[in-house]
């Protein structure tokens, strides 16, 4: 359903398992960034009621995910570690079109968000299927379902801005680009890298 072009190397999950505390902290910051992105979209596109309405709900939900991950970190006996740079997200940002019509830029922003949700969802699924700890598996399975819904939301919003064929063609370009950059990241030190 996610249509990602490159499946995550299963070795990423085993490295991630060994670095539980680091992965959970990185995950918490991903949720915070998802909430911040939703808020930025509200500020920038205040004159688009659908974006304002959907992003307000999303920001609240992502912040509640942040809270859940932070309490889970405590439950597992770890502490929240400082935020680290996410080179995966930085590379994706470079693919957003520069100049051109504002609708094209907005669609790119929405597609980038859809892609991050899709990849997070894919990785949560991998973790929920491969980790030995049943409690952690349940935790990731629940979050996976929410992120899958967010992926669909961003694609739907993009298709409401520009014609569907145009959005879908651009989505294929995003998928190709993401597959290309993902090959450089498999360290297992973060949700996306």
CB 193 within 8 A of CB 90: no
Write down the least CB distance from residue 12 to Fe ion, Å: 19
Exposed / middle / buried, residue 79 (Cβ in 10 Å: 0-12, 13-18, 19+)? exposed
Write down the least CB distance from residue 99 to Fe ion, Å: 29
Rounded CA gap, 162 and 168, in Å?
A: 10
Write down the least CB distance from residue 147 to Fe ion, Å: 5
Six-digit token string for 153: 């939301």
Between 45 and 66, whose beta carbon lies closer to Fe ion?
A: 66
Between 86 and 117, whose beta carbon lies closer to Fe ion?
A: 117
Residues that bind Fe ion (CB under 5 A): 31, 34, 62, 65, 117, 147, 150
Q: What DSSP state is assigned to residue 93?
A: H
Between 131 and 191, whose beta carbon lies closer to Fe ion?
A: 191
Write down the least CB distance from residue 67 to Fe ion, Å: 11
3-state secondary structure (DSSP) of residue 103:
helix
Write down the least CB distance from residue 186 to Fe ion, Å: 22
Exposed / middle / buried, residue 2 (Cβ in 10 Å: 0-12, 13-18, 19+)? middle
Rounded CA gap, 151 and 153, in Å?
A: 5
End-to-end CA distance of the chain: 22
């Amino acid at each position: 359903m996610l249509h990602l072009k490159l499946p995550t190397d299963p070795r990423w999950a085993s490295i991630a398992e060994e670095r539980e505390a680091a992965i959970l902290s990185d995950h918490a910051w991903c949720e915070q960034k998802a909430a911040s992105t939703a808020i930025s979209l509200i500020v920038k596109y205040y004159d688009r009621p659908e974006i304002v309405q959907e992003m307000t709900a999303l920001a609240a939900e992502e912040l509640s995910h942040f809270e859940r991950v932070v309490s889970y970190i405590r439950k597992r006996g770890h502490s929240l570690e400082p935020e680290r740079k996410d080179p995966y997200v930085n590379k994706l940002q470079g693919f957003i079109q520069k100049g051109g019509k504002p609708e094209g830029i907005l669609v790119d922003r929405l597609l980038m968000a859809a892609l991050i949700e899709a990849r997070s969802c894919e990785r949560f699924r991998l973790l929920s299927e491969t980790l030995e700890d049943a409690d952690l598996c349940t935790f990731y399975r629940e979050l996976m379902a929410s992120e899958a819904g967010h992926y669909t939301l961003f694609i739907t919003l993009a298709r409401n801005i520009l014609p569907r064929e145009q959005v879908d063609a651009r989505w294929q370009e995003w998928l190709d680009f993401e597959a290309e950059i993902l090959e450089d990241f498999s360290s297992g030190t973060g949700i996306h890298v």
